[in-house]
A and B are shown apart, each in its own frame.
Chain A
């Protein structure tokens, strides 16, 4: 069975600092990996996804993530945090091969301090 672990339910950074949100997955087959962001009282917005090919994936709003198979990780980074990045971030895994359910991590709430 697939699972996703997000280390740190809360992460706090200063404006302009590096953002690093950690995600590790377990899957018996090559996975599709996703990062979604949820702003207060809103639904989920896709930030980026990894399916095949280049392991460094660039997303919206300056975020990127690197798929590392040997570490079963898909950490999300942004070089310089903005106040508008404050939100909850969810890592999710889907099994390759078709329409399957997304399995989400518990989420990481990012706070950006001025």
Chain B
């Protein structure tokens, strides 16, 4: 069974640009989560999508947004990039069973903002 996949693996942008990160969940999983892992800040929850809807978001500004497609894959968009957005962005997926859920993580996209 294929795991969670993310693309691209690395992304280099300059301040003010927009970045688009992509995630494909494990087959059969309907929930997708995004986390940011920045140096010194640890792993922080960004967004949760399920069945095409945004269900929850963390303490991030509105320039962090995303969507989930009918095939449950997801995009994370970061507008007006700032230097501090440089981080590893991890996507995870899970079954939306409401019980004993486990989130399975992809390898991440490393974003560097210059």
Contacts and interface: CB of A to CB of B under 8 A. Distances in A.
Interface stretch (B13-21, B65-73, B75-83, B105-113): B105-113
Given A101-B33, A101-B45, A49 B105 contact: no
B55 A49 contact: no
Nearest to A6: B42
Contacts of A90: 43
A92 to B, nearest CB: 8
Nearest to A36: B105
A44 interface: yes
A107 B90 contact: no
Interface residues of B, number: 29
A106 interface: yes
Interface in A45-98: 45-46, 49, 51-52, 90, 92, 94, 97-98
Contacts, number: 57
Nearest to B90: A43
Interface string A91-114: 010100111111111110000000
A25 interface: no
Contacts of A42: 107-108
The 7 lowest CB-CB distance pairs between A and B, nearest first, are A101-B45, A44-B105, A104-B43, A43-B105, A43-B107, A98-B98, A51-B100
Interface of A: 32, 34, 36, 42-46, 49, 51-52, 90, 92, 94, 97-107
Given A98-B98, A99-B96, A102-B35, 16 more contacts: A32-B100, A42-B108, A43-B6, A43-B105, A43-B107, A43-B108, A44-B92, A51-B100, A52-B100, A92-B43, A99-B31, A99-B98, A101-B58, A102-B103, A104-B43, A107-B42
